Amino acid sequence: MIWSLLGQAPVSLAYYKSSLSIYKTKPSTPLNRFSSGFPAPISTPAIRVFCSKSGRVGSMASSVQNQGSISYLTQREAAEVDETLMGPLGFSVDQLMELAGLSVATSIAEVYKPSEYNRVLAICGPGNNGGDGLVAARHLYHFGYKPFVCYPKRTQKPLYSGLVTQLESLSIPFLSVNELPMDLSKDFDILVDAMFGFSFHGAPRPPFDELIQKLVNLHNYEQVQQKSPVIVSVDIPSGWHVEEGDVGGEGIKPDMLVSLTAPKLCAKKFSGPHHFLGGRFVPPAIAEKYKLCLPQYPGTSMCVRIGKPPQIDISALRENYISPEFREDQVEADPLDLFRKWFDDAMTAGLKEPNAMALSTTGKDGKPSSRMVLLKGVDKGGFVWYTNYESQKGRELSENPHASLLFYWDGLNRQVRVEGSVQKVSEEESEQYFHSRPRGSQIGAIVSKQSTVVPGRHVLHQQYKELEEKYSNEGLIPKPKHWGGYRLQPNRFEFWQGQTSRLHDRLEYSPQEIDGKRSSSPPWFSQTFQLTSIPLPITCKKSKQINPED
């Protein structure tokens, strides 16, 4: 199929026409554009790199290496950055280690879910790299993993004995080298290599030589091995030369490397699938001084993926949902109460925009279309959202006033479907809501001829600017006639709670039939909804619950 391309402008929902040359120079279908443009998993944001303003010229310029705009440090530079952080910049080693260990744990959690990779062995060395491993083990415990620790050369400093006490208080087992099984593959899902960091030199001495060999023997990610645990190296794959990498080619081949502060030169030789950066504490002064180019961390995350994105086998992407059972006898009589309860759960879980819902409509041609909108109110009258009445959805709703809403609350493994008939809300209600919005959004609603093609972004920006000036005096911005709300009055609900092996819980509410007639008098919510087929007072059915592919 040949596709023509319409770009979507950022400020409003109008479109702009892109030039045909863009299309010609990138002869791709939307599908392969998607897969080449967004190759990383959903949790992985695009990498944005920030650099010190002055570029890479300076005292360290000769040795700070750059690959794909990211700086790599030599061993000496790594130690110097460490000293600067803990000297003039006022950090304590405890602080940095805590943040480093947390970064390691969050990186692991991004890739290896505790439901599949639960048993973690942290092998900790005598220095700060080992300390990072101890901290990571504690955080992993709190994230739902089952950690074990092998810490054969303990350091007697209070920081380390404190970390050990903290782990012991969580009943995390400490295993001596002798207690480790010959074959680590049967007992662990993740092996955290926290033996040596950037101060490693020479050849590994006992007992670490033996421990490193255990990891080498066990695992080679290039060989497809069933049931082999993954190796996560902290900062440096232990045994590798800090700058040259795995010189003899016989060292550890980690699946994941979590570089700390900035990757060291050896990280260039890392060819495993997951390279992360942690240590979100580098102040601009350090970045400037050492001419560091580092990626930005997304949102509030303690880690960011760097390096080449992993090759994804889309067909292998799946989650096994593990949730509390959702039973007929636990539900509310009124589906609206259950919706509110689940909505509160989504809020409490800190999910982003739990009010985002997919709205599906069909016009008279019967062809469905879906898009996200924001729920702006829910009560006995129904579910309310606001939009442009002249948009595609507006046109379709005028032709066919029935729609479906879909909420998906990732993290809670929950989905809610709501179907019903749709009406515009009153002008007064729309007015009231319109004026509660930020002024920028009010102007945006005037500017945006939603779902129409516009000549370019500049047109929208120009109109926006003009209106911004026009309404700069804080006066009322008039609501355009074509903008307002819709209310969907439900006639069907389905609450879905994901469960293991695809045997999900699905409960459906539909209006009760009274004397063989479906009650249709609004408001629906004064009626008893029935969960089809189980007797009074509420009747329930788990629809299609046991179809494994639902």
Ligand X SMILES: Cc1ncc(COP(=O)(O)O)c(C=O)c1O
- Summarize as ranges the residues that interact with ligand X (CB under 6 A): 13, 374, 386, 437, 441
CB of 393 to ligand FMN, least distance (A): 4
Q: Which residue is nearest to ligand NPW (CB)?
A: 197
If the CB atoms of residues 100 and 460 are measured against ligand FMN, the closer one turns out to be 460
- Token pair listed for 362: 């069909």
96 binding ligand NPW? (CB under 6 A)? yes
CB of 261 to K ion, least distance (A): 14
CB of 450 to ligand FMN, least distance (A): 5
* Contact code string over 101-140 relative to ligand NPW, x by CB under 6 A: ------------------------xxxxx-xx--------
What is the residue-wise DSSP string for 43-84?
T-PPP-EEE-TTTT-STTTTT-EEETTEEEB-HHHHHHHHHH
Q: Minimum CB separation from K ion for residue 225, in Å?
A: 22
**Would you say 322 and 332 are in contact if contact means Cβ atoms under 8 Å apart?**
no
Which lies closer to ligand FMN via its Cβ, residue 198 or residue 386?
386
* Options 9, 136, 234, 446; binder of K ion; rule CB under 5 A: 234
Examine the residue annotation and report whether 437 is marked as an active-site residue of this protein: no
Residue 238 interacts with which of ligand FMN, ligand NPW, K ion, none, CB < 5 to 8 Å by class: K ion
Q: Which residues contact 166 (CB under 8 A, 6 or more apart)?
A: 138
Beta carbon nearer to ligand X, 56 or 437: 437
Smallest gap from Cβ 199 to ligand FMN, in A, equals 47
Residue 430: name its binding partner from ligand FMN, K ion, ligand X, none (Cβ under 5 to 8 Å by kind): none
What count of other Cβ atoms lies within 10 Å of the Cβ of residue 415? Answer: 18
Q: Which residues bind ligand FMN (CB under 6 A)?
A: 13, 353, 356, 369, 371-374, 385-388, 391-393, 450-451
**Which C-beta is closer to ligand NPW: that of 128 or that of 491?**
128
Task: Tell me if 201 contacts ligand NPW by CB under 6 A.
Answer: yes
The span from the CA of 336 to the CA of 524, in Å, is: 10
Which is nearer to ligand X, 146 or 437 (by Cβ)?
437
- Residue 273's nearest CA partner among 262, 260, 257 is 257
Q: Least distance from C-beta 103 to ligand NPW, angstroms?
A: 9
424's CB contacts (< 8 A; 6+ apart) are 389, 430, 484, 485, 486, 487
Q: Phi and psi of 345, rounded to 5°?
A: -60, -40
Q: Which amino acid is at 464?
A: Y
Q: 361 Cβ partners below 8 Å, 6+ apart?
A: 368, 369, 370, 393, 396, 397, 400, 403
Residue 197 binds to ligand NPW (criterion: CB under 6 A): yes
If one asks whether residue 78 binds ligand NPW (CB under 6 A), the answer comes out as: yes
Residue ranges with strand state E in 270-401:
274-278, 293-295, 303-306, 356-362, 368-374, 377-379, 382-388
Closest CA to 336 of 382, 376, 375: 382
* Residue positions annotated with a catalytic role: 502
* Residues at the interface with K ion (CB under 5 A): 193, 233-234, 236, 238
